[in-house]
Structures are given as structure tokens and as C-alpha cells.
Amino acid sequence: MTLKMEKLIAVARGQIPADLRLTNARIVNVFTGEIEPVNVAIAGGYIAGIGDYRQAKETIDLKGKYLLPGLINGHVHIESSMLDVGQYARAVVPRGTTALVTDLHEIANVCGLEGIRYVLESARRLPLDIFLMAPSCVPATHMETAGAEIGVKEVRQLLRLKQCRGLGEVMNYPGVIFGDKTVLGKIDSAKGKVVDGHAPGLSGKDLNAYVSAGIQSDHESVALEEAREKLRRGMHIMIREGSSEKNLETLLPLVNNETYRRCLLVVDDRSCVDLLNDGDIDAVVRKAIRLGLNPVRAIQMASINTAEYFRLERLGAVAPGYFANLIVTSDLATFSVDMVFYHGRLVGKDRKPLFSLQKSGKQTLNDTVKMKPFRVEALRLKAKGNAVPVIEIVPGQIITKKCTMKVKIADGYIVPDIRRDILKLVVVERHKRTGNIGVGLVTGFSLKRGALASSIAHDSHNIVAVGTNDADIYTAVKEVERIQGGLVVVADGKVFASLPLPVAGLLSAEPLETVVKKLDRVEKAAADLGVKLVSPFSTLSFVALPVIPELRLTDLGMVDVREFKLIN
């Protein structure tokens, strides 16, 4: 028995004073659904006991406020916030997120294991538990060029890490269904651990095949019956509400007294603007309550359910022996977070961080944009008929539709048709100087002039651009190269606004508030050029992801995701 355990037991029995005593609390008991009016004794970062404790080195009177477990975000890509790890913690911890689960496949697609080590090292001194899922799909498919590859050997290496809980979302669902040996080898490596899924639109025998491989969850359901079928087949359902993926309202009817223990609330991808202005997983809890879900149930789905699914010991509840990761709120209905404790230490109050960031001397991941020089003529799209496949954006979702549209042709080349909102879409390889450039068409951006470009392009993160003319697209792509990653808005050959993201071309090293201001500026500049989407750069980042139906564009060309092949 360790000295820490001996002390914890002694405090629990009332033999010695606690380090911290929280009095007049109303505990949200996630095991029983009850509200308990009691005191809480904390020692050594753990909850020692719940009841009538009277001795402590420090006492905080909660005056009848609710005390509940710190929230656990069970599926999130922190890279999508565009914040370096410390600034990400500044954004989410004061909002009540004290733990998260991530596979870091975004930064891994750029920098491989080095990128994963960078994030984990950066997080070591933060009041935030980061649990890793070994990325299963780096790259996501063979139909794009990534900066790195994580194979079975590397997956096994990651699975040995203490903070690794299992295998991250298996996006290559065709690889599972058709028995790809590499994909199945990664799943087999995680035997006995958690294996997350990613199965948009799968049903029937294909779904049976996918689940039979040992995959245990899904966060890609966009329709109620789709989620219900997956739940019936034994999957845990992650109900997602991110910046561009909004499924909560549609899927919430799935939750009832019989199903709620197998449902989790997650965000997947959330921008720094939403984190600052609306919150993290707390925003999802708040919206679920607003849509009619019982507040205690919403809290369970963002705490104990997540902890039990990922086997996170001593997390997710207010109970003896659990880590003292706690939230204080005066009103469960509005779910405004008043105080946040991490391991018994007050780290957030009134949505403001109470911790400082320490420089760790970690290696930076700069200078990752490496493009082969090209001329603007490389962006031309030769006409082979006047009816061609076009990517159709679905507002509020990351799925797209495949449609065939008649296009404008000039001098033998397809050109954008601004009046009909048919724009040029380009993906330029930026890792290995291959010179690969994918060119296609997209509808749904409503851009009237100029171009947008970004080095965030899930999951391989090549440079993706959309525009009304080749010259502005070229200028935007070259500006992303010049600033070594970021978001850019161009019109009439001039850069209107930009947000540099020099860390792997994905993250900013600047403070949260600065990044939000710059992102606001580029989104406003995009709106001034006609874009009507709420998060245009978030939408743009997903048009290159060839594992989400129906039609995508990579550096290798147009991808029919249903057929899982490149098309001419």
C-alpha cells in the first residue's frame, strides 16, 4: 500500500484533515441519477469521501451549487481548433473539459510519430488528461498523398504507451469489408483494447461485416435510423455536434432509458471561435438540455459513459477514489460553468483559466509546406464533354453529394460558372514535392469573386483551394506556401486576409484570442466575397477527405467514395 493510498484512506475515515473540503454541494450522482446534498473531502488529487467531513486545510463553501464530474470529450481532433496544445487547454479547461480522447491523426498525417510525440509532450504539464487512440488510417486511403505513414508496426508501438486506450477510428471501412490485410492487422493489434469506428452510411450486411471485425463505436451517423441500426448491432453511438458536423438534434431521439448508457456526446471537430464563444463539450451538453434531454442524462453521456467505454479508471464520477476533476455550476439547465477543479486544484473560474503555460523546450514542427513549383496553367481543367461530376456541399454536414452538371467551356477548358455557383476546386500536394495537383468542381460555396486556400485538408492536409478564377487560386496557394501553412483569402490578385498556421501547417503558436480574431477576419473576408457558409474554411477542409461520401477531391484526382476509386 502506497503512502498516497494510506493518506486517502485516513482522510476518507475522518482520521486526518483533507487537503480540500467542498461544503454545501449538490452532487450529480452519475451512477444513480440522484442529486445528493453533501460535503466532499479531497486529498492528494483524489476524492477521499462524500458525507459529513469537517476537517480540511482549505474549505470552499459551494452554497448549494451543483458539483459534477469533469467532462470527457470522447472523440475530438484538437488540431481542428488550429490552436497549439497549451492554448487549446486554455480554451477548453475553464469550460469544464478535464479529459479528452484523440487519435491525433491530423498531425500524424503531416509528421508521423513525431507529430504525436509533439502533442503528448506539450500536454504533460497541463491540467488536462489527453488519452491517445493509435491512428488507424495514416494515410486515410491510397487515393491521396500524405506526409507520413503509420503501419502495423507503428500502431503496435503506440498501443504500448500508457495513455493509449486503443485503435482510433477505422476510416477505411472498405478495407475492413473487403479484408485488406494491413487494415485487419491494425485491428488485430488492438485486441483487448477499444477500437473506434467510422462508418458513414453503412448498413445491412456491410455493417455486420464491419462490426464483426471488432469495431465498437461510430460517430458518423447523420440519420436517426442509421444510428439506431448501429446501436442494435452492438455499437456505441457517439452523437456529434462540431463546428461543421451537426447531428445532435437529429440523433437525440435515439436516447432513452434503455439506450443512454451506450450513447456518448462528442464534438469531433470544433473551431477556436466556437471554443471561445460557445464552448467545447459543455456546449453540446447545454444544447442537448435545451433540446429536451434531462440534464443529469446529458452529463452522464459526457462523463461516466465516456469513461466506461474507454476504460478510463477513476474518471467520470464524483465518488471515493476518483480523481478530483470536478465542475461547479449554479444551474444545470443553463449549464454555465462557474468553477473547474483538476486533481483537486482550482484551474478555472467563470470560464477563465487559472493556470499558466510553461515552455517545455519542445521541438517545433515548422517548415512542413514543401511544394513542387508549378505555373498557373497547371490549374486548367480540360473539357471532355459538357456534363461532368461536381461536388455538392451539404450545409451543416461534412457529407457531400455527387451530382452531374453542365459546365461552361472556354477554349477547350472548363471554367467556373459564378452565376450557377460552379467553382474551381484544387488540391496541391505539399509534403513530398510530387507535383500532384487535383482539379475539380464544387457547388455550394457561393463565392462571387476571388479564392480561398488552406493547408488544413483532412486527412492528408495538402493545400486545398476554391475559387472563381485560376489566377486568384494560384495566388492563394502560393501565399499558403509563403506563410508555411494557414488560411488565405485572395481577390483581384491581392491577399485580403490570412491566418498563419506554421506548426505542421495546422496550428498557430499565438494566443487563443489572437487566433480567434484572425479567423474571424478571414471568415469575414470570405463572406465579403459572397460565401454564405457559416464555417467556410471548415467546410473547405473536408472536401478532400476520401472516406466520407459521396464525392471528394485529392491531389490524385476526383474520388467516388461509394465506389472507393478515383474517377476521370
Instruction: Find out whether 12 and 47 touch, Cβ atoms under 8 Å.
Output: no
480, 483, 489, 495: CA torsion to nearest 10:
-120
Average pLDDT of the residues in 489-503: 97
Q: How far apart are CA 266 and CA 74, in angstroms?
A: 6
| Confidence grade of residue 358 (pLDDT, cut at 50, 70, 90) | confident
pTM recorded for the entire structure: 0.92
Burial grade of 384 (CB within 10 A; 0-12, 13-18, 19 or more): exposed
| Confidence grade of residue 532 (pLDDT, cut at 50, 70, 90) | very high
Cell of 263: 450513447
Looking up cell 484572425 gives 518
Which stretches does DSSP call E strand in 62-198? 66-69, 71-73, 97-102, 129-134, 164-170, 194-197
Between the alpha carbon of residue 562 and those of residues 172, 204, 223, 402, 548, the distances in Å are 12, 15, 17, 10, 9
Nearest Cα neighbor of 300 from 246, 309, 291 is 309
Residue 547 clears pLDDT 90, i.e. is over it: no
Cell of 296: 443529469
Per the DSSP assignment, residues forming a β-bridge with 68 are 327
Peptide bond into 180 cis (omega under 30): no
Q: Which residues contact 495 (CB under 8 A, 6 or more apart)?
A: 475, 476, 479, 488, 489
Instruction: Find out whether 20 and 57 touch, Cβ atoms under 8 Å.
Output: yes
| Confidence grade of residue 363 (pLDDT, cut at 50, 70, 90) | low
Cell of 366: 515548422
What domains can be seen in the chain, in order of their start residue? 70-314 (3.20.20.140), 376-567 (no CATH)
Average pLDDT of the residues in 100-123: 96
Name the 3-class secondary structure at 218: strand
Q: How far apart are CA 190 and CA 169, in angstroms?
A: 12
Running DSSP on this structure, what letter comes out for residue 171?
Answer: -
Instruction: Find out whether 315 and 325 touch, Cβ atoms under 8 Å.
Output: yes
Average pLDDT of the residues in 393-402: 88
Average pLDDT of the residues in 179-193: 95
Name the 3-class secondary structure at 265: strand
What integer pLDDT is reported at residue 385 of this predicted model? 85
Q: Helix 512-528 and helix 85-92: axis angle, to 10°?
A: 90
Running DSSP on this structure, what letter comes out for residue 431?
Answer: S
Cell of 15: 482520521
Q: What is the CA radius of gyration of the chain?
A: 24
Running DSSP on this structure, what letter comes out for residue 80?
Answer: G
The mean pLDDT value of the chain amounts to 95
Cell of 281: 463539450
What integer pLDDT is reported at residue 362 of this predicted model? 55
Query: How many residues belong to the chain?
Result: 568
Q: With b meaning 16 or more CB within 10 Å and e meaning fewer, what string describes 528-562? A: ebebebebbbbbbbbbbbbbbbbbbbbbbbbbbbe
| Confidence grade of residue 360 (pLDDT, cut at 50, 70, 90) | low
Residue 418 clears pLDDT 70, i.e. is over it: yes
Residue 62 clears pLDDT 70, i.e. is over it: yes
Tell me: the pLDDT tens digits for 261-306? Answer: 999 999 999 999 999 999 999 999 999 999 999 999 999 999 999 9
Q: How far apart are CA 67 and CA 346, in angstroms?
A: 13
Average pLDDT of the residues in 546-555: 93
Tell me the CB-side half-sphere exposure of residue 287, using CA atoms within 13 A: 21
Q: Which residues contact 240 (CB under 8 A, 6 or more apart)?
A: 75, 219, 220, 246, 247, 248, 266, 267, 268
Per the DSSP assignment, residues forming a β-bridge with 443 are 392, 422
What integer pLDDT is reported at residue 130 of this predicted model? 97
What integer pLDDT is reported at residue 437 of this predicted model? 98
Residue 159 clears pLDDT 70, i.e. is over it: yes
What integer pLDDT is reported at residue 3 of this predicted model? 65
Which stretches does DSSP call E strand in 267-421? 326-329, 337-342, 345-349, 352-353, 381-382, 387-393, 400-406, 408-410, 413-415
Burial grade of 59 (CB within 10 A; 0-12, 13-18, 19 or more): middle
Tell me: the pLDDT tens digits for 214-273? Answer: 999 999 999 999 999 999 999 999 999 998 789 999 999 999 999 999 999 999 999 999
Per the DSSP assignment, residues forming a β-bridge with 268 are 76
For residue 308, the tally of other CB atoms under 10 A from its CB is: 17
Pairing mode, strands 97-102 and 129-134: parallel
